[in-house]
Structure 1
C-alpha cells in the first residue's frame, strides 16, 4: 500500500534554513559530502549508490542500493528503509530546475510499503554513532508509474528508533530523478534524442620565478583518486567506445609532464648542436666567474645554471626529489597514461594554449590570443592525435568581442544562460556556430545528498533528455561537466546512458544541425562576467615576459627552446583561471621576467674609462664578459654624440661559458672636443640586454685651416731666411 509522507516539524524547517544560509556558494556547495549536507536536519544520512535501470522500465523491477550513516550521538535501532516515488511527472527542463532546488523536507512522493513484496523494505537492526550500513531495495514494476511519460521523483527514506522514539517522519532521506519514456510505438519517427557529453580538462597553472610548476600539493590532490583531474579522466576512460567530446587545454598535460620530469626549472642548456670551436671570438680569454650571480642573490650557482639536475659534463646522479614532487610525478605518469587512453578515438577540442581569457584578450591584446590559438592548433603532441580548435569559458559566457575574435572554423561552446529559458542547442551568428550547453543538466540532482555524484549527475542528464523526448524536434542535449567535478569512481555512469531513446554522439555531429539564427547583440553577457575579465596590466606583464624570453633565447647560442617555454608560461598568466587572482598573475609574470633579466645581466660590456683620438679617427677596445655557464651570442651597439661616430662589428660575437672577449671599435670625429659614447650590449635581433657602459672620447684633430696657417708660416720663415741670406751675400760682395 502507499502511505503519504508527513511533514517535518517547524523546528526542522528552521534548522534547514539556517544550514542553507551557512553553506558556501558555488561549486564547493555542489560538491559537499552527503553526510555534511544532511547533518543539519536529519540524524541519519543516506546515499543512493546505484540505481538500475536508470529509467522506469517497461517490465522488470528497479533496484536501488546505498548507505545509511548515523550522525547522531546515540545508537539507532530497527532502521527501516523504504523507497518512494511521485505520482505526477515533470515534463520540462524548467520543472526539473525548480525540483532540484526543492527543500529536502518537502513532500514529493509516497513511500512504497508493501509487506507482500519483501524486497521493497530493508531493515538495519542497529546503527551505532558514526556507523554506516548498506541497504538494498528491489521495487517491482507494478509499484511504479506506467502511464504518463515524464520525469518522476524517486528516492529512499530511513525511519528508525532513536532517543525520542519512533514516528512517521523520515530520519534520513536521499532523492533523485527517474524518467519514464513514452513507448516506442508512440514516439514520432522512432527518433532518439542526441546527447553530447563534453569532458573539460582545464586548470589553473602557476609557475615559480624559475619556471617550475607552483602549488605542487594542489596538483597531487587533483591527480590523485577523487581529485578533479583524475575524476574527469577516469570518467572519459569509462566511456569506452561510446562517443564523448574532450575540451582540452594542452597546457595542462604539458604541466603534468613537467611534474613527471621532476618539476625542473627552465633550462638554459643546449637544445641544438654546438658550433665549432672557431665560433668563439679570437680575442676571447678564459675568465672564471666569482660564483656570485649578478643579481646579488649570493647563490653559488652561476646565473642561468640549470638546477634541474642536468650536468653538462659530470656523472653526478640526479638529486632526490622532494616527497611531494615525487608523489606528483608518480600520479602524473599514471594520469597521462589514462588521458592518452581516454583521448584516443574520441573528438578532441583544444582551447587556446593556457586557456587564455578570450573576452579580455579581444579588448587588450588580440595578438596574445592568436599566438595561444596557433600554439594549440594541430595534432596533440606527443601523441599525434587530431584536434579541432575551440573557444569556451569555464562559465560558458563569451562576449561579442571574444566571439568575433574567434576563428569561424572554431567550435564555440556557450551556456544556455546566454540565450534564455528556451535556448536552442545550436546557434548561428555572424558566421560562427555556437553549441549551447545545458546549465541545468550540468548542475546535477536534488539534495539533500551530494548533487554531483556520478549517479545524481547521470540521472539529471537522462531526465533532461527525457523531457526533450516529449517535445517536437527532439532538441539535442549538450552537457559540459564542471571543471570542479570529482568522484572516486564512475562505475555505472555510462551504463545508465545506454538507453534506446538516447543517442550519445560528439559535439561536431550536433553542430552540423541547421541551428537557429540569433543576432549577436541578443546574446547575454552579464555585467558580473565583464567585471571579472582580466585587465590590461596583466596582458602587459605577460607581453613583457614573452619579450624577455625571446631575448634570453637570442642570447643563448645553443638553445632554441627557452623562448617558446617562456611564452607558454606567459599564456597561463592570462588564463580564465586568473580572473579571481589578477594581482597574483601579474606578480607571477613580473617575477619570471625578473629571473630572466638577471640572467641577461650575466653578460656585460665594459668600456675603457676614456679615449683620446690624436687624429680624426682611431681604435679602442671594449670587453664583453659572459658569466653564464652557457655560450652566448651578442652584438654591440654604439650611441654617440654627433659628429662623433663609432663603428662596431657587424658580425655576431660568440663567447663561450665563463669567458670574455675583446672587441675593437673604430671612432672618428670631424670636430675637436669631448663627446660621450654609450656602448649597448644586444641580442642577435639588436634588442638591448640591459648591459651598457659610457665613456668620453676626446678628439684632438687639427683642421685644414690650421694646417694652411702653419704651412704659410713655415713658407714665410724659410722665405725670410732665404732673403736674409741673399742680402748678406750681396752685402759681402759690395764690401
Structure 2
C-alpha cells in the first residue's frame, strides 16, 4: 500500500468516528463545562520554516471530580498566518476559533487513555509539514493543542474539553535592522507581617524560594539569560523578608525553620542580588505602595511617600543594590494626575497596562514619553501578545511570545520604516515556570536572526517617541481607604516622635518606616479589613513604645521662699537608650524657665533632674514639664503640677512670729503681775 493510502485510510476512519460521535452526543452535555489545565512544555521548531515537522509536548491536568476516559490530544494550526498585531488582537477578542484546523490524521493523534480526577498526563503530538497544509507565507501562525475525551456518563463531544495555544513565527529572510527584545522579571513580596509583627505565612514563602518553588524557578529562569536580554524588577520588601527568614526573624515560635530552609533562603537572596547587581535592575517602592490612594489623599501623601522612599533607600543601602526607581500602578488605576504625582525627577519609568492607554499602538514602541503638567515621564506599556489565549503560561509560550511579537515588528517596519517597534514581555510576578523550565529553551528566542537582546534600561536610554494619547480622567480601580492611610500616617507620626529622642535613630527609623510603607501596600485592596487592622496595630505598638518614656513630677510643690528647687524624673522603660531634654512652661506669662538640655538615659533607667524656679510675687502657678528632642520638638505627654508661691509662706511666718511674740509678752506680763500680787505690802 502506498504512503498516501496508508495516511488516507486512517484519516477517513477518524472523520467517520468524529461524525458518529456528533450523531449520538447529547446536547445537554455541552452545557457542562469541564475543568482542565493544559500546559505546553516543548515546541519544535521555535521558528517555523517550509518543510518543518511540528512537535508539541505538554501536560493535561484533570481538575474535575470524576475521571475522563479515551482522552486524545490533537495538534491545531492555522493554514494562513497573521501579519499584523491588530489582526491577531481582533481574532483573540472575537472568538476561540482562530487557532486553526484540527489535524485528525491518526498518526498525529496522541491516544492518552484515561485521566483520573486530580491526575496529570503528558501528551506529545507530531505532525509533518505536508499534513499542516499551511500557505507558507510570512507571518505568525497560531498553533496549539486540543483535548477530547469521554466524561463519566459516557458522553463525548467533538468540541474540545481543553486547549492551549501559542504562536509559530515564519519569516522568509532576516531583516537588516534587528528588533530589540527584552523580558522583565518581577520579584515581589508575596507574604506580609501580621498584627503581632510576625510573618503570616513564612512556610509558604520558604517553599516558594526553596528547590522547585515558584520564586526559585522564576529566578533560575531569569539567570539563564544574558544580562543584556532582560531586567529584574525588585521589591525591597522581598529582600528584607527573605533575609528575615534566613535569620529566623519575625517568625512565630510555633514555626520551625530548618537549617536546610535557612540555606535555601540565603542562597536565593545571594543569587537574586547577584543577578540584580550584574545586570539591569529596576526598583519598585517598598512593598509596592498604592500610588492611586496616595494621589487621592494629597494631605497625607508627603509623609507616607517619604516613609516608602526611606524604606526603599535603606534596603538598597543594606544590600548594596543600585537600580532605577520605578512606579507600578495597578490596572485601571492610571490617570493624568497620578502620572504627574509620581513623575519624580523625570527619569523614573511608570509601568502601565495597555488597556489603560488610549491612542497607543505597537508602532510607538513599548517605551514612550508622556507629557504631564509637571513635565515628561517615561512609560513602559505592558502589552502581552498572548493575553487571553487558552492554556497555562509556560516557558514555551513566553519564548514564542517574544519571537512572534518581534516577527510582527519586522513586518510592520517593512511597511513603516519609522516605526519604533520592539518586543518586550513583562511576566506575571506569580507565574511559576515549573521545575522543568529548562525544557522550554527560552534562550532560543534571542538566537533568532531577527532579534537583538536588550535590557529595559537600554531601551529607556534610546530616543523615546512622544505619546500623544490619553488616560481616563478618573480611575476605575478602588484605591485603599482614607482610614488605611490615616493609620499609616499615625505609625509615622508616633515613630518620628520616638526617633527624635533615641540615641541610635537608624534602626528604629528603618523599622517604623517599613511598617508605614507596608500599611500603604496595594496588597490590602484585596483584604481591606486585615490591612486596616494591621496598620492600626502597628500604630498602637509605636504609641505604646513611646509611652514607655515619660516625665514624672510631684502633683504640687511648695517652696520655702520665692525661689527653690524641686525634682523631675524621666522614666525610660523602652529597650533603647535615649537623649532627651525638658521644657518648662508656666501658666504665668511673666515666669520664664530656661529649657533643660538633653540628657542621656540608658534603656530601663530613670534619671532625676533638679529644677530651679523663682516665682517672684506670685502666690501660685501651674508648671508644665514637656520632654523635648535635641532640636526642640515636643515628645510624649507633659507632666503638669502646681507650685505654691513662697511669698505666702513669708507672710505666714511673720504672722506666726508676731503671734508667738505676743504670747510670750502676755505670759511675761501675766507672770510679773502674779508675782506683784504675792509680795507683802
Question: 1:67-216 to 2 correspondence within 5 Å?
Answer: 67=59, 76=69, 81-100=73-92, 106=97, 108-114=99-105, 120-124=108-112, 132-144=120-132, 145-157=134-146, 169=158, 173-184=162-173, 187=175, 190-203=176-189, 206-209=192-195, 211-216=197-202
Matches of 1:99 and 1:212, distance apart in 2? 48
| Matched position secondary structure for 1:462 | helix
Give yes or no for contact 2:26–2:155 (8 Å, CA) kept in 1: no
| Matched position secondary structure for 1:527 | coil
Give yes or no for contact 1:553–1:561 (8 Å, CA) kept in 2: no
1:395 aligns with 2:334: no
Matches of 1:528 and 1:63, distance apart in 2? 44
Choose which of 225, 237, 245 in structure 2 pairs with 1:251: 237
Matches of 1:506 and 1:11, distance apart in 2? 53
How much has 1:690 moved relative to structure 2?
Answer: 2.7
CA separation of 1:698/1:510 partners in 2, compared to 1, >3 Å: closer, same or farther? same
Report the equivalent of 1:348: 281
How much has 1:214 moved relative to structure 2?
Answer: 3.7
How much has 1:437 moved relative to structure 2?
Answer: 2.5
CA separation of 1:165/1:325 partners in 2, compared to 1, >3 Å: closer, same or farther? closer
How much has 1:566 moved relative to structure 2?
Answer: 0.9
CA separation of 1:507/1:9 partners in 2, compared to 1, >3 Å: closer, same or farther? farther
| Matched position secondary structure for 1:359 | helix
Report the equivalent of 2:656: none
Matches of 1:161 and 1:593, distance apart in 2? 58
CA separation of 1:565/1:69 partners in 2, compared to 1, >3 Å: closer, same or farther? closer
Higher helix share: 2
Give yes or no for contact 1:350–1:377 (8 Å, CA) kept in 2: no
Question: 1:302-321 to 2 correspondence within 5 Å?
Answer: none
Report the equivalent of 1:497: 445
Matches of 2:603 and 2:60, distance apart in 1? 69
Report the equivalent of 1:282: none
Question: 1:523-562 to 2 correspondence within 5 Å?
Answer: 523-524=471-472, 527-529=475-477, 532-558=478-504, 560-562=506-508
Scaled by the length of structure 2, the TM-score of the pair is 0.79
Choose which of 377, 383, 389 in structure 2 pairs with 1:446: 389
CA separation of 1:420/1:624 partners in 2, compared to 1, >3 Å: closer, same or farther? same
Matches of 2:485 and 2:155, distance apart in 1? 64
1:422 aligns with 2:361: yes
Task: Kindly provide the CA deviation profile for residues 184-212 of structure 1, in whole angstroms up to 9, marking residues without a partner as x.
Answer: 16x4xx33322221111223553345644
| Matched position secondary structure for 2:75 | strand
Matches of 2:152 and 2:332, distance apart in 1? 49
Task: Please identify, of 476-485 and 458-467, the stretch whose mean Cα deviation from structure 2 is larger.
Answer: 458-467
| Matched position secondary structure for 1:196 | strand
How many pairs are equivalent? Answer: 620
| Matched position secondary structure for 1:561 | helix
Matches of 1:322 and 1:74, distance apart in 2? 38
Matches of 1:604 and 1:80, distance apart in 2? 76
| Matched position secondary structure for 2:457 | helix
| Matched position secondary structure for 1:647 | coil
Question: 1:273-672 to 2 correspondence within 5 Å?
Answer: 322-323=255-256, 329=262, 331-363=264-296, 364=298, 365-370=301-306, 372-373=308-309, 376=312, 380-395=316-331, 397-405=333-341, 406=343, 407-417=345-355, 418-420=357-359, 422=361, 424-425=364-365, 426-430=367-371, 431-441=375-385, 443=387, 446-447=389-390, 449-450=391-392, 452-471=393-412, 472=416, 473=419, 475-489=421-435, 490-491=437-438, 492-498=440-446, 499-519=448-468, 522-524=470-472, 527-529=475-477, 532-558=478-504, 560-643=506-589, 645=591, 647=593, 650-672=596-618
Matches of 1:388 and 1:507, distance apart in 2? 10
Task: Please identify, of 621-630 and 242-251, the stretch whose mean Cα deviation from structure 2 is larger.
Answer: 621-630
Residue ranges of structure 2 left out of the alignment (5+ in a row): 1-7, 653-681
Matches of 2:54 and 2:169, distance apart in 1? 12
How much has 1:180 moved relative to structure 2?
Answer: 3.2
CA separation of 1:151/1:511 partners in 2, compared to 1, >3 Å: closer, same or farther? same
How much has 1:50 moved relative to structure 2?
Answer: 1.0
Matches of 2:590 and 2:102, distance apart in 1? 99
| Matched position secondary structure for 2:331 | coil
Q: Which protein has greater RCO, CA pairs closer than 8 Å, 6+ apart?
A: 1
Task: Kindly provide the CA deviation profile for residues 628-666 of structure 1, in whole angstroms up to 9, marking residues without a partner as x.
Answer: 454332222222210563635532122234332221112
CA separation of 1:704/1:111 partners in 2, compared to 1, >3 Å: closer, same or farther? closer
CA separation of 1:397/1:514 partners in 2, compared to 1, >3 Å: closer, same or farther? farther
Give yes or no for contact 2:40–2:59 (8 Å, CA) kept in 1: yes
Give yes or no for contact 1:377–1:388 (8 Å, CA) kept in 2: no
How much has 1:482 moved relative to structure 2?
Answer: 2.0
How much has 1:677 moved relative to structure 2?
Answer: 1.6
Matches of 2:592 and 2:61, distance apart in 1? 85
| Matched position secondary structure for 2:526 | coil
Pairwise CA RMSD of aligned residues? 4.0
How much has 1:244 moved relative to structure 2?
Answer: 0.3
